[in-house]
Amino acid sequence: MAGLLPVEDALALLVAAGAAHPRRQEMVPVQQASGRVLAADLTALRTQPPAAMSAMDGFALRASDGAAPGASLRIIGESAAGHPFAGTIGTGEAIRIYTGAILPAGADCVVMQENATAEGAELRLTVAAQVGRHVRPSGCDFHEGQTLLSAGTRLTPGHIALAGAMNHAEIPVFARPRIGVLATGDELVLPGAPRAPHQIVATNAFAAMAMMRPMEVDIVDLGIAADSPEALNGAIDRALAEAVDCLVTIGGASVGKHDLVRPVAAARGAELAFYKIAMRPGKPLNFGRLGPMLLLGLPGNPVSALVCTRLFLLPLIAAMQGDASAGQDRSEAAILGAAFPANDERQDYVRVMLERDARGLWIARPAGGQDSSFLSVLARADGLLIRPPHAPAGQPGDPARVLRLG
């Protein structure tokens, strides 16, 4: 189809625009930073561990005193985590030591308690001691001044643990972008509201917001706008007043008589980068800018809206947050679990059920009918099977790529 932009090109434009969008930095307590994106490289403020420590419960000694099984030594004290032994280990001496305790001066190894017997102050080894055995040297994890986390990293619980161990009480992150969400259409009513036969329940915005929330964004729910220039202009005015970084509209994105989002935005001076994508579902997708605010117009069909949220909105948000992995291909290897017809010039995203085969590969089977209004099929689908443009007919066992949902 003439004039349709390939999916990869559209995604590259969105990610570039998101990455160029102005960002603020803020300091947050480390325990509140999970899911946020690091705004600057983070270097260790201390060495970990700060001293040589025992990796086991056992006995610390000089390896030369226990060079052969049966060696006998004298126990002169103990070292526990938080309670180090204050003296020095001499010839023929040992101390009882516990995991995480500092190795005392003079000792160079630890013998596990299972490899020794102790009666009173007498210790007898049942194995030969080895220099460095069961000892964590100072700095074996990291050293003061070492850069361990890079700007652009989306912080996981593991990153939070590391940042805290590096002795950072607060860390610099990018501020949460403000995302305005506006559903459009005369036919839409909220769940539970009185509904005429020609009206449908509006849930696309709820699902899109649910997909965004784990990404640490501030969401501004702008409700539903009727299909009129006045209603749409009023909603845009509210979005600008709320200082949203990106206005996401759902519906009205195509070129029909009642699809007003694009002409209304253009009449206000919006710069539109594209409005048709070579994909199914989701061809009518708009993207551009109105003053300081990015504009992303999602299709109104439920499955189209949510597939486009997964493919385009979430990477756009990641780019706006400074996430270095924004736009990264997150598809996974799979095999077809059914026959598929040859594809046309649009890239298909088929809703599929996924299960692992004996090799660990995903097997992709259709989750049901592929009409873009079938929310029941999308709800039970595990992923999207990617059928590239002009893909030949596929048979069970043929290689494929899938993008997991959820």
Q: Which residue ranges does the chain devote to CATH 3.40.980.10? A: 7-24+175-320
Answer whether 59's CB lies under 8 Å from 95's CB: yes
Torsion of CA 223, 228, 230, 234, to 10 degrees: 20
Q: Which residue ranges does the chain devote to CATH 3.90.105.10? A: 25-48+141-174
Count CB neighbours of 160 within 10 A.
Answer: 19
Q: What integer pLDDT is reported at residue 363 of this predicted model?
A: 98
Print burial letters for 146-159: b (CB count within 10 Å at least 16), e (below 16): eebbebbbbbeeeb
Q: Does domain 53-136 have CATH number 2.170.190.11?
A: yes
Q: What integer pLDDT is reported at residue 193 of this predicted model?
A: 81
Tens digit of pLDDT at every position of the chain (406 positions): 457 899 999 999 999 999 999 999 999 999 999 999 999 999 999 999 999 999 999 999 999 999 999 999 999 999 999 999 999 999 999 999 999 999 999 999 999 999 999 999 999 999 999 999 999 999 999 999 999 999 999 999 999 999 999 999 999 999 999 999 999 998 888 888 888 888 888 899 999 999 999 999 999 999 999 999 999 999 999 999 999 999 999 987 666 666 788 899 999 999 988 878 999 999 889 999 999 999 999 999 999 999 999 999 999 999 999 999 999 999 999 999 999 999 999 999 999 999 999 999 999 999 999 999 999 999 999 999 999 999 999 999 999 999 999 7
Helices (H), 213-274: 229-241, 261-267
Q: What integer pLDDT is reported at residue 192 of this predicted model?
A: 84
Q: What integer pLDDT is reported at residue 380 of this predicted model?
A: 96
Q: Backbone dihedral region of 17: left (phi > 0), alpha (psi from -120 to 50 degrees) or beta?
A: alpha
Residues in the chain: 406
Two tokens at 174?
């990018």
Q: What integer pLDDT is reported at residue 127 of this predicted model?
A: 97
Count CB neighbours of 188 within 10 A.
Answer: 24
Q: What integer pLDDT is reported at residue 118 of this predicted model?
A: 96
- Residue 102 pairs in a beta bridge with 53
Q: Which fold has domain 25-48+141-174?
A: Molybdopterin biosynthesis moea protein, domain 2 (3.90.105)
Cα–Cα distance for residue pair 276/285, rounded to 1 Å: 6
Q: Which residue ranges does the chain devote to CATH 2.40.340.10? A: 332-404
pTM (two decimals): 0.89
Two tokens at 258?
């009642």
Q: What integer pLDDT is reported at residue 356 of this predicted model?
A: 95
- Residue 188 pairs in a beta bridge with 200
Answer whether 49's CB lies under 8 Å from 166's CB: no
Cα 387 from chain centroid (whole Å): 25
- The 8 Å CB, 24+ separation contacts for 113-116 are 113/56, 113/57, 113/58, 113/59, 114/58, 115/58, 116/58, 116/59
Q: Domain spanning 332-404 has what CATH number?
A: 2.40.340.10
Q: Which residue ranges does the chain devote to CATH 2.170.190.11? A: 53-136
Name the CATH superfamily for 7-24+175-320.
Answer: MoaB/Mog-like domain (3.40.980.10)
Print burial letters for 303-313: b (CB count within 10 Å at least 16), e (below 16): bbbbbbbbbbb
Count CB neighbours of 291 within 10 A.
Answer: 9
In angstroms, the Cα distances linking 261 to 13, 81, 270, 277 are 20, 64, 11, 17
Q: What integer pLDDT is reported at residue 209 of this predicted model?
A: 97
